Chain A
């Protein structure tokens, strides 16, 4: 189980997260919604161990996120975290080594994940010449390369055309169907959240303002939770 317990995170004087507690069970998919600046990305980065909480604690299966535990987490961030001067293949091989994959297994795994995401034929192209959609898929390949137990996707559909978004939906759905895997994704798209997730959580001002299973929830309820806060729905 991945859980945040009383987590707060401050940037200077501004609180990005305030006393937030939430947990995600193995096999569960959680959609995080909220307007820009609501704390979604900060929460995801806190889950990965990239951000240290100012207060509170993040736990994975009851233990704090250690360096070893990071090997079980895959993050697709706003930033692609890819080197523009390297090809997709070179990037993936580099990150595979950082994640401790065996050298002998890396080429096959790179090919496999690239084929799954539809970028198999573009593996040897430098990242700098790729379109936003292909770059996003390359970044997703980096995040999924080591077959992580926890997949954190920060607005995975941003910048994708409908075809690429459809392909990504299939990949995310396959991830969600994998028994025991935890998937958390952020989105502004309510219909996507209802389509993909089992549970929906809404953040506003760094606080958790709504949390409900999809079957007990409606788009109106979620929208209303946005409207309770200044600024409304993003």
Chain B
């Protein structure tokens, strides 16, 4: 483990945000674990004070003894709190790209290399999850973080905490990983027909007429491909509709930033994203062009992904 500089040691953010983000497994030790009494713990201290008062007024030695026992318990539970987290090894796994507005999932591996059972671990990124960990075992959980904007999304601090055993103290350890995931633009909500392929993109051998574009909705008939069902309308309770595409499947389209409708960049990107998904779903080969990147018409997950990445990082 790297040494901390004096300045870093006294940074308050260490208590809440954790140390500098790193990308290797983190072992929780005294430098990363913090312990403070909870409200319940403070009330417990009040209880001890009350018992001491009773013992004092009545000059009762056994109540003194009970109060002292509870005070020692209070004190010793600090050590036990530390023990609930000490030695755990945290590491991050892979994660998948998401569309803006969705929750990004980050996989975190927790390894318990010691002979201590962890009865209650709370792991929090944006929401809290609880789990137990047997001695010498490991587990993985997925933590979700909500995304709003396209581009790289960085996960905040992963905080692992525990109030075991008595709930009087909370031990916590904030850990920052270099956790980031790609967020694609949010697909546009409204359906627009695929753009007509402008002449500039028509190359030899391409079917000029064959605009493989979305041309409207018709009522669903048995036998229509499932991919063409307009699920959004169905979800809105408007009945089953099939999307009709002009031309046949062998035709191809060009998705061009310049000719995409929209008030601003984000709207255009959002619309492009919609089209990319729709085209992928409809099995239509598409070409893709935004300033700085141009991809020849193609099909397949890899192609789609590359296009979406380009949109995300535009």
Same complex for A and B? Answer no
Residues of A within 8 A of B (CB): none
